[in-house]
Amino acid sequence: MANPSKAKGTAWESAVRDYMNKTLGLVDERGKFVDIFSALNVKRAAQEGAKDVGDVHAVPFVLECKDVLRPAVPAWLGQAHVEADHAGYPYGVVVHKVRRAAVARGRVHFSVRTWTRVRLALGLGAADMRERYAFVPAVRGIASARWYLTTDLERFTRLVADLRAAP
């Protein structure tokens, strides 16, 4: 039998990919890509070994997907940033599964730096960004490197669509 933890992680990555493709209108009613060659299709990335490129690519984001009980968000965000850099994408975020909840309720975590860069790319003020995408800040101690902002996968997918449509 395959590694159960790996199977669980793969299932979560696939669920995130499928949800985003459907919500963004990139697949038909059967789940087939409308345009198989579109760079905007959300895809699971191939394993790259030492130069890991993240779990899911949703231009312009690399998503590091986590299906674990105990969150370690600041460490995961560091991993997401390294993997986004390896993949050549500007933004890395973490998508953490919420137990016994729909995929759309998964938690998407942004570092403060990534959140600010995305906010500026959208041309939004901080209050507008928080309100429009329902971001909630988490402050962990005095070290700002451990601070992050969280929304759900439903609102994150809307943010991806808005960012892709931005001039």
DSSP state of 104: G
Gap between the Cα atoms of 156 and 94, Å rounded: 11
Crossing angle of helices 112-122/153-165, nearest 10°? 40
Q: Which of 19, 22, 11 is CA-nearest to residue 65?
A: 11
Residues 6+ apart with CB under 8 A from 34: 25, 26, 27, 28
Q: pLDDT for 45-93, tens place per residue?
A: 877 667 889 999 999 999 999 999 899 999 999 999 999 999 999 999 9
Q: Which of 163, 77, 157 is CA-nearest to residue 124?
A: 163
pTM across the whole model: 0.93
Contact 73/66 with Cβ under 8 angstroms?
no
In this prediction, residues 108-128 reach a mean pLDDT of 97
- Exposure class string for 57-75: b at 16+ Cβ within 10 A, else e: bbbebbbbbbbeeeeebbe
In this prediction, residues 147-164 reach a mean pLDDT of 97
Phi, psi angles (nearest 5°) of residue 114: -65, -45
Gap between the Cα atoms of 13 and 158, Å rounded: 18
In this prediction, residues 131-156 reach a mean pLDDT of 91
pLDDT at 139: 84
